[in-house]
Amino acid sequence: MDGEVRINPYLAGNFAPIRSEDDFDLKVTKGQIPKDLRGTLYRTGPNPQFEPRDPNYHWFTGDGMIHGFRVEGGKISYRNRYVRTPKWELEHEHGRSLFAGFNPMASDPIAFGKDGGVANTNIVWHAGKLLALEEGHMPFEIEPGTLKSLGYVEPYAGRVTAHPKMDPKTGEMVWFAYGVGDAPLSDMISYGVTDASGKVVRRSDFQAPYGAMMHDFMVTENYVLFPVMPLTGSLERAMKGLPAYAWEPEKPAYVGVMRRDADVSTIRWFHTGACYVFHPMNAYEQDGKLIADVFRYDSAPLFPLADGRRGDKSAARLARWTLDLSGDSDAIQEEMLDDLDGEFPRFDERLAGSGYRHGWFAGDTTRSGSVKLNSIAHIDLTTGKRSVYEFTGGDLVSEPVFTPTSDSAPEGQGWLTAVAWRAAENRSDFLVFDAQDVAAGPIAVAEVPRRVPFGFHGNWVAG
Q: What is the mean pLDDT of residues 8-23?
A: 96
How many domains would you assign to the chain?
1
Is residue 244 in a domain? yes
Q: Which amino acid is at 241?
A: G
Q: Which amino acid is at 105?
A: M
Q: Which band of pLDDT confidence, cut at 50, 70 and 90, is reported for residue 7?
A: confident
Q: Using CA atoms, how far apart are residues 414 and 404, in angstroms rounded to an integer?
A: 4
In eight-state DSSP terms, residue 137 is B
- Which domain range does residue 222 map to? 169-273+297-304+318-335
Taking 90 as the threshold, does the pLDDT of residue 2 lie above it?
Answer: no
**DSSP 3-state of 234:** coil
Predicted structure pTM score: 0.95
Is residue 128 in a domain? no
Q: Using CA atoms, how far apart are residues 421 and 423, in angstroms rounded to an integer?
A: 6
Task: Please give the full DSSP string across 14-62, using - where no structure is assigned.
Answer: GGS------EEEPEEEEE---TT--EEEEEEEE--SS--SSTT--GGGS
Taking 80 as the threshold, does the pLDDT of residue 303 lie above it?
Answer: yes
pLDDT for the residue 155: 86
Is residue 346 in a domain? no
Q: What is the pLDDT of residues 256-295, one digit of tens each?
A: 999 999 999 999 999 999 999 999 999 999 999 999 999 9
Is residue 391 in a domain? no
Residue percentage of the chain with pLDDT more than 90: 90
> CB within 8 A of 158, min separation 6: which ones?
138, 177, 180, 190, 203
Is residue 220 in a domain? yes
Q: What is the mean pLDDT of residues 149-177?
A: 94
In eight-state DSSP terms, residue 160 is B
pLDDT mean across residues, the chain? 95
Taking 80 as the threshold, does the pLDDT of residue 5 lie above it?
Answer: no
Residue percentage of the chain with pLDDT more than 70: 99
Q: Using CA atoms, how far apart are residues 360 and 118, in angstroms rounded to an integer?
A: 28
Q: Burial level of 310, CB count in 10 A (0-12/13-18/19+)? A: exposed
Is residue 61 in a domain? no
CB 175 within 8 A of CB 216: no
Is residue 285 in a domain? no
pLDDT for the residue 4: 54
Nearest to 318 by CA among 379, 388, 408, 393: 379
Write the CA distances from 348 to 282, 322, 402, integer angstroms.
10, 21, 6
Is residue 384 in a domain? no
Q: What is the pLDDT of residues 350-394, one digit of tens each?
A: 999 999 999 999 999 998 877 789 999 999 999 999 999 999 999
Q: What is the pLDDT of residues 87-128, one digit of tens each?
A: 999 999 999 999 998 887 789 999 999 999 999 999 999 999
Nearest to 200 by CA among 169, 229, 159, 172: 172
**DSSP 3-state of 311:** coil
